[in-house]
């Protein structure tokens, strides 16, 4: 027997109410028609309230009504053998389809691994009495939710993961978090690419092209697939080598990442010939991405530590410019705004220290990170989990039963399962009896007397 | 033949059928008319009662025994029997089961059937809701059916004026006959006794059938009960448990008064409880009359 709502048992304390009512109730005088009152003389009347409980049968029925209702509220569930058998015949299944980039490879059948996995998922779903298919690029991340869904279903359940199982793409701890009574199956679909070039293109080091003329160098970060991410560098004539050195230094200290080509940035170094018109066109950042990018640069600790010892004149920076970094004396070293540079709207960072300073490299690195697309390094993995490792992940589905940890409770959580409805029917019947007894009460006294 | 229980009798709607069943049930072999008259055929002696015709005194027996006896004869002519039935509201008790008025109606109808079957005349006098209802004493089956139908149509209710009903009944008995009074005798006790005595003094044979139900005899209630008088509507809240002993004493006194009054006045008296099968009550009553037992021995019919 399972009590699904045990706290409702506190309602049993209400049983004291009918006891009090029967203890304190005043007895009604029974009206009796009689042939003649000539032989009935007046008597001293008894107290109408007695210390004894009145009408015990009615009290018992009322107590039974309350107790039955409280027990019904506790939602009892009797896990009988037949009920276990019926539950074990059903199976709830969660099918997790890996839709990560590595699954986009084409199989020998001409279909992609994802398509094959989805078709297989549909077939697996038909085998279960209740199923759900989860498509995700991170199978490990949905296992907790899958387990929760199985718990709600009650009865038997399992989790089937369809993936190429790249090494590192599967979190063993997530698999372990699936409750032991639920089965786990790992089905390999597709093969991990032997070369990561296709994937790595997405995360490859950006190429920066710097074009110098008499007064400026246009340095373009481009990705191999042609997507363009432009960072324009404006500096004084003769500083090109210094700027290039700073760029190289930045590439050494930061992980290369693809840049979002839609995010255009300019960095203006001291002495750049276009500084004044750029500053004059400055406005507050309008594009949505600019403010977050500014904040990420502003939060870059390496930038702050690099410019700490820079010596610059303490100049007040006013709107629309925003200070990005200061030296240790509080003078602004880097500030930013939205400006028109070379005819395009860009998020423009103004570097007040020398181009050869450490702060320049730090600024390059910070800007590069702030506009980079998030990388997905695991997708570049070319190894897969072995079949033996997958077998260790798997386990069989366990039947519902007392021998299974939390097995009976699993049954109870199946939606709509409770024997309380029978008790409510009993309550209705008892209410009918109670009504009948209440109406019958006056005659009962007479019958008792007879 | 086994006795018909009051419940069975009460379940029979047809009063004539119920009466016939009662009569058939009380038959036990050949029998003589229980209604003794003053015909030529001597039947028995009986102790002299004031009011008896002196011409029927057996002077020879008086000479031998020095005690007065009246000679009784089998009626050679028809006996007129007047049935007086109380249909007052108090007779409607108990409300569930066989009420006293229904029981009395069955007994009255059975008696009428018996009387008429033996060639005697039978009449009815009653008071229903303050109005006298009367059927003269006649014989014959058509009259019997009419009388039973009249009893069946009686609507109980109101009070009962025994003095008026008994005196009118006695007046309407043109010659000396038998008056059977079926009542609980709650109303105007003294007046009723006086009129019964007058009826005897007129030369009529008088019999009292006093009806009483089980509940009004034993008062089987407990706790606080609000009693409502069926005739007056008066209510009285009483602790029935505490009242029981006093009530029983009062009822015993009342019944004793009725019995001793009947004895003194030369009236046949029978206390009949409504939980007694009607044919048994009638058989006992008539058997006692046939045996010529002294008056007022009817209490044997009403064992508590």
Chains A, B: CB pairs < 8 Å: 99
Evaluate if pTM is beyond 0.80. no
Here the tokens at position B276 are 């007694």
Say how many C-beta atoms besides its own lie within 10 A of residue B183's C-beta. 26
- Chain A residues whose beta carbon lies within 8 Å of the beta carbon of residue B87: none
H or E element, residue A63: helix A56-73
Contact A44 B239 (CB under 8 A): yes
Contact A35 B100 (CB under 8 A): yes
Here the tokens at position B93 are 């008790």
Contact A446 B239 (CB under 8 A): no
- Chain A residues whose beta carbon lies within 8 Å of the beta carbon of residue B224: 27, 29-30, 45-46, 48
Residue B304 domain-assigned (yes or no) = no
Q: What is the CATH number of the domain that holds B246?
A: 3.40.50.410
Residue B278 domain-assigned (yes or no) = yes
Is the same domain home to B64 and B156? no
Is the same domain home to B107 and B184? yes
Domain housing B124: 6-28+78-295
Q: What is the pLDDT, as a whole number, of residue A317?
A: 80
From A22's Cα to the closest Cα of chain B, the distance in A is 16
DSSP state of A11: G
Cβ-nearest to A31 among B213, B226, B242: B226
Is the same domain home to B67 and B159? no
Locus of tokens 């702030």: A370
Q: Quote the CA–CA distance of B78 and B72 in Å, as a whole number.
A: 15
Is the same domain home to B117 and B252? yes
Residue B302 domain-assigned (yes or no) = no
Helix B15-26 to helix B100-117 angle (10° resolution) is: 70
Is the same domain home to B138 and B69? no
| B22 HSE (CA, 13 A, CB side) | 34
Residue B33 domain-assigned (yes or no) = no
Beta carbons of B152 and B105 less than 8 angstroms apart: yes
Interface test with A, best of B215, B222, B227 (most A CBs within 10 A): B227
Is the same domain home to B264 and B170? yes
Number of domains making up chain B: 2
Is the same domain home to B172 and B233? yes
Radius of gyration of chain B (CA): 19
Contacts of A321 (CB under 8 A, 6+ apart): A282, A335, A336, A337, A350
Q: Quote the CA–CA distance of A264 and A4 in Å, as a whole number.
A: 60
pLDDT tens across the length of chain A (450 residues):
777 788 888 888 888 888 888 877 766 677 888 988 888 877 666 555 555 666 788 889 999 999 999 999 988 887 777 777 776 677 889 999 988 877 877 777 888 888 899 999 999 888 888 888 888 888 888 888 888 888 877 778 899 999 888 777 677 788 888 888 888 998 988 776 655 444 444 444 444 444 444 444 444 444 444 444 467 888 888 888 888 888 888 777 665 555 666 788 889 888 888 888 888 899 988 888 888 889 989 988 888 998 888 888 777 788 889 999 998 888 999 999 999 888 888 999 998 888 888 888 888 888 887 887 655 556 666 677 888 888 888 888 877 654 444 445 555 555 456 788 899 999 999 999 999 988 876 544 433 333
Nearest C-alpha in A relative to B232: A36
Is the same domain home to B43 and B118? no
B200 three-class SS: helix
Is the same domain home to B68 and B165? no
Residue B221 domain-assigned (yes or no) = yes
Is the same domain home to B106 and B51? no
Is the same domain home to B50 and B154? no
Beta carbons of A355 and A236 less than 8 angstroms apart: yes
Residue B267 domain-assigned (yes or no) = yes
Is the same domain home to B47 and B167? no
Residue B64 domain-assigned (yes or no) = yes
Q: Is the peptide bond before B104 cis (omega within 30 degrees of 0)?
A: no
Q: Quote the CA–CA distance of A360 and A306 in Å, as a whole number.
A: 9
H or E element, residue A392: helix A387-393
Residue B230 domain-assigned (yes or no) = yes
Read off the pLDDT band of B302 (50, 70, 90).
very low
Cβ-nearest to A33 among B93, B239, B243: B93
Interface of B with A in 221-280 (CB under 8 A): 221-232, 234-243, 246-247, 250-251, 254
From A25's Cα to the closest Cα of chain B, the distance in A is 15
């Amino acid at each position: 027997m399972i009590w699904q709502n045990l706290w409702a048992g506190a309602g049993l304390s209400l049983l004291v109410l009918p006891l009090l009512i029967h203890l304190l109730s005043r007895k009604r005088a029974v009206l009796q028609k009689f042939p003649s009152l000539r032989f009935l003389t007046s008597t001293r009347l008894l107290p109408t309230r007695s210390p004894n409980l009145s009408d015990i049968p009615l009290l018992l029925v009322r107590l039974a009504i309350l107790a039955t209702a409280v027990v019904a509220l506790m939602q009892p569930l009797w896990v009988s053998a037949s009920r276990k058998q019926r539950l074990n015949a059903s199976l709830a299944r969660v099918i997790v389809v890996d839709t990560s980039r590595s699954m986009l490879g084409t199989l020998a059948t001409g279909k992609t691994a994802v398509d094959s996995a989805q078709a297989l998922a549909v077939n697996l779903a038909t085998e279960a009495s209740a199923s759900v298919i989860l498509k995700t690029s991170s199978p490990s991340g949905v296992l907790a939710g899958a387990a929760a869904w199985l718990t709600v279903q009650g009865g038997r359940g399992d989790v089937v993961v369809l993936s190429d199982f790249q090494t590192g793409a599967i979190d063993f701890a997530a698999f372990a978090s699936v409750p032991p009574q639920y089965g786990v199956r790992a089905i390999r679909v597709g093969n991990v690419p032997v070369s990561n070039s296709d994937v790595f293109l997405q995360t490859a080091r950006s190429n920066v092209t710097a074009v110098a003329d008499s007064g400026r160098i246009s340095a373009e970060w481009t990705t191999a697939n042609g997507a363009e991410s432009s960072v324009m560098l404006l500096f004084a004539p003769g500083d090109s080598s210094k700027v290039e050195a700073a760029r190289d230094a930045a590439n050494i200290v930061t992980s290369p990442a693809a840049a979002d080509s839609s995010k255009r940035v300019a960095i203006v170094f001291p002495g750049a010939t276009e500084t004044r018109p750029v500053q004059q066109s400055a406005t507050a950042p309008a594009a949505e991405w600019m403010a977050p990018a500014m904040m990420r640069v502003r939060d870059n600790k390496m930038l702050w530590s690099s410019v700490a010892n820079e010596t610059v004149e303490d100049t007040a920076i006013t709107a629309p410019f925003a200070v990005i970094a200061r030296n240790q004396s509080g003078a602004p070293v880097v500030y930013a705004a939205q400006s028109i540079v070379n005819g395009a709207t860009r998020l423009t960072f103004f570097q007040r220290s020398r181009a050869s300073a450490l702060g320049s490299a730090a600024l390059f690195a910070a800007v590069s990170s702030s506009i980079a697309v998030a990388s997905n390094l695991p997708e570049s993995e070319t190894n897969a989990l072995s079949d033996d490792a997958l077998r260790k992940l798997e386990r069989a589905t366990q039947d519902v039963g007392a021998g299974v940890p939390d097995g009976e409770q699993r049954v109870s959580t199946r939606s709509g399962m409770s024997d309380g409805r029978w008790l409510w029917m009993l309550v209705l019947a008892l209410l009918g009896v109670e009504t009948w007894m209440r109406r019958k009460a006056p005659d009962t006294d007479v019958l008792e007397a007879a | 033949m086994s006795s018909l229980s009051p419940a069975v009798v009460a379940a029979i709607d047809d009063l004539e059928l119920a009466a016939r069943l009662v009569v058939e049930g009380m038959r036990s072999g050949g029998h003589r008319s229980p209604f003794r008259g003053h015909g030529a055929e001597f039947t028995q002696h009986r102790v002299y009662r004031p009011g008896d015709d002196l011409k029927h005194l057996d002077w020879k027996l008086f000479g031998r025994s020095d005690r007065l006896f009246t000679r009784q004869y089998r009626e050679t002519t028809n006996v007129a029997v007047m049935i007086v039935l109380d249909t007052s509201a108090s007779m409607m008790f108990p409300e569930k089961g066989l009420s006293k008025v229904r029981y009395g109606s069955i007994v009255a109808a059975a008696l009428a059937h018996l009387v008429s079957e033996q060639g005697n005349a039978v009449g009815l006098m009653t008071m229903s809701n303050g109005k006298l209802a009367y059927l003269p004493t006649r014989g014959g089956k058509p009259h019997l059916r009419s009388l039973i139908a009249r009893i069946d149509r009686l609507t109980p209710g109101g009070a009962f004026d025994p003095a008026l009903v008994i005196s009118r009944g006695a007046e309407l008995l043109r010659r000396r006959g038998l008056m059977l009074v079926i009542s609980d005798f709650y109303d105007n006790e003294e007046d009723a006794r006086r009129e019964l005595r007058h009826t005897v003094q007129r030369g009529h044979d008088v019999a009292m059938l006093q009806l009483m139900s089980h509940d009004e005899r034993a008062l089987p209630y407990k706790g606080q009960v609000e009693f409502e008088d069926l005739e007056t509507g008066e209510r009285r809240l009483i602790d029935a448990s505490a009242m029981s002993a006093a009530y029983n004493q009062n009822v015993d006194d009342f019944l004793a008064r009725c019995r001793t009054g009947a004895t003194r006045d030369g009236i046949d008296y029978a206390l009949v409880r409504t939980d007694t099968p009607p044919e048994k009550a009638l058989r006992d009553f008539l058997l006692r009359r046939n045996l010529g037992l002294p008056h007022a021995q009817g209490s044997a019919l009403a064992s508590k």
